[in-house]
């Protein structure tokens, strides 16, 4: 990844929240913007439970990255939409697992999603 974590001394730190306040990407050769990936399986089904849905959404993100010639290590920004604030800790833990603990710029919003069965949607920006 061609990014350097930035943490302004005159702004609050992200602390143990597991994300970077900012990432500086200098002279990338390629950008990939992945639209919101929802927890749909190839057969059109939606897994039961937040963790299963979250992992499916991440699998769909990874598939789009692979199709663009990139991987999870190229992510510089994540926007996540979760249906209930009670899933916040689980989302952060799964995000850390998927990214191997690597910190990226991140935004998480509690929102009503397009399909009421969906508990999570994730979009990413990647640079290589």
CATH number reported for the structural domain that contains residue 84 in this entry: 3.30.1330.40
Residue with tokens 């009503």: 112
Domain assignment present for 56: yes
What was the pLDDT predicted at 127? 92
User: Given the DSSP bridges, would you call strands 3-6 and 22-25 parallel, antiparallel or unpaired?
Assistant: antiparallel
* Structure token pair of residue 72: 């999870």
Mean pLDDT for the stretch of residues 34-54: 96
Range of the domain at 83: 31-127
Mean pLDDT for the stretch of residues 48-62: 97
Note the helical H segments in 9-112: 50-67, 88-98
Q: Does 16 score more than 70 pLDDT?
A: no
Instruction: Report which of 55, 65, 69, 60 is spatially closest to residue 37, judged by C-alpha positions.
Output: 60
Domain assignment present for 49: yes
Give yes or no for a contact between 122 and 63, defined as CB atoms under 8 angstroms apart: no
Domain count, the chain: 1
Q: Does 33 score more than 60 pLDDT?
A: yes
Instruction: Report which of 14, 34, 33, 28 is spatially closest to residue 106, judged by C-alpha positions.
Output: 14
pLDDT bucket at 9, cuts 50 / 70 / 90? confident
What was the pLDDT predicted at 98? 97
What was the pLDDT predicted at 4? 83
Furthest-apart CA pair in the chain: how many Å?
A: 49
Total-model pTM: 0.86
Mean pLDDT for the stretch of residues 32-58: 96
Domain assignment present for 42: yes
Domain assignment present for 7: no
């Amino acid at each position: 990844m061609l990014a350097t974590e930035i943490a302004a001394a005159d702004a609050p730190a992200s602390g143990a929240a597991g994300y970077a306040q900012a990432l500086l990407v200098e002279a990338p050769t390629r950008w990939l913007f992945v639209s919101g990936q929802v927890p749909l399986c190839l057969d059109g089904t939606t897994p039961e439970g937040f963790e299963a849905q979250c992992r499916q959404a991440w699998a769909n993100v990874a598939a789009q990255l692979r199709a663009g010639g990139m991987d999870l290590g190229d992510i510089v920004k994540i926007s996540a939409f979760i249906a209930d604030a009670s899933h916040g800790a689980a989302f952060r833990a799964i995000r850390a697992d998927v990214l191997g603990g690597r910190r990226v710029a991140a935004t998480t919003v509690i929102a009503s999603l397009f399909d009421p069965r969906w508990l999570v949607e994730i979009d990413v920006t990647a640079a290589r």
